[in-house]
Amino acid sequence: MSAVPHPRHPSSRHRAPARGITMIGLLFWAALVSMAGIVTLRVLPTVNEYYTILGAVEKVSKTGGNTVPEIRAAFDRHKSIEYSISSVSGADLNITKNDERVVISFAYDKEVELFGPVYLLIKYRGSSR
């Protein structure tokens, strides 16, 4: 009598295809995650500067003064206190009045070097409310 393997015996099962990530897949995902990390680390300081400028513009629009030179001088004073503002000065501000309310707006471009000759251009715009 020949030995017939039992249907539940490991030698009688078909092997399931291997599951998981290959080495090439792992390298692809590692490169993708590291590139996203590099871009994030390079862009984060510019986003911080934008929100700092926006906060300064909000504060100056409420308490800066009534004339354009007073508002520009108030922003420059605020800029001298905030070390992270380097892209905008008081002369770069667009100051208007809207229904007896001072509206200050600004716009600037920031180039972020990623690696080698590759740059990322970000266009920031903002205004007081």
pTM attached to this predicted model: 0.76
Is 15 exposed, middle or buried (CB count within 10 Å of its CB: 0-12, 13-18, 19+)?
exposed
Strands of 32-117 (E only): list them: 94-98, 101-115
pLDDT at 63: 85
With respect to residue 82, please indicate whether it lies within any of the assigned structural domains: yes
Give the residue-averaged pLDDT of 115-123: 92
Q: Is residue 80 part of a domain?
A: yes
pLDDT in tens, 55-108: 999 999 888 777 888 889 999 998 888 888 889 998 999 988 888 888 999 999
* 81 CB neighbour count, 10 Å cutoff: 8
65: containing domain: 22-127
Residue 29 lies in a domain: yes
pLDDT of residue 5: 59
Q: Are 77 and 65 in contact (CB under 8 A)?
A: no
pLDDT (tens digit, 9 = 90+) per residue, 7-35? 565 555 677 777 778 899 999 999 999 99
**Predicted pLDDT of residue 11:** 57
Residue 3 domain-assigned (yes or no): no
| Distance from C-alpha of 33 to C-alpha of 42, rounded to nearest angstrom | 14
- Residue 12 included in any domain: no
23 neighbors 29 (Cβ within 8 angstroms): no
Q: How many structural domains does the chain have?
A: 1
In a domain, 14, yes or no: no
Instruction: Give a yes or no: residue 8 inside a domain.
Output: no
Q: How far apart are CA 81 and CA 124, in angstroms?
A: 21
For tokens 């905008």, name the residue: 88
Does 5 reside within a domain? no
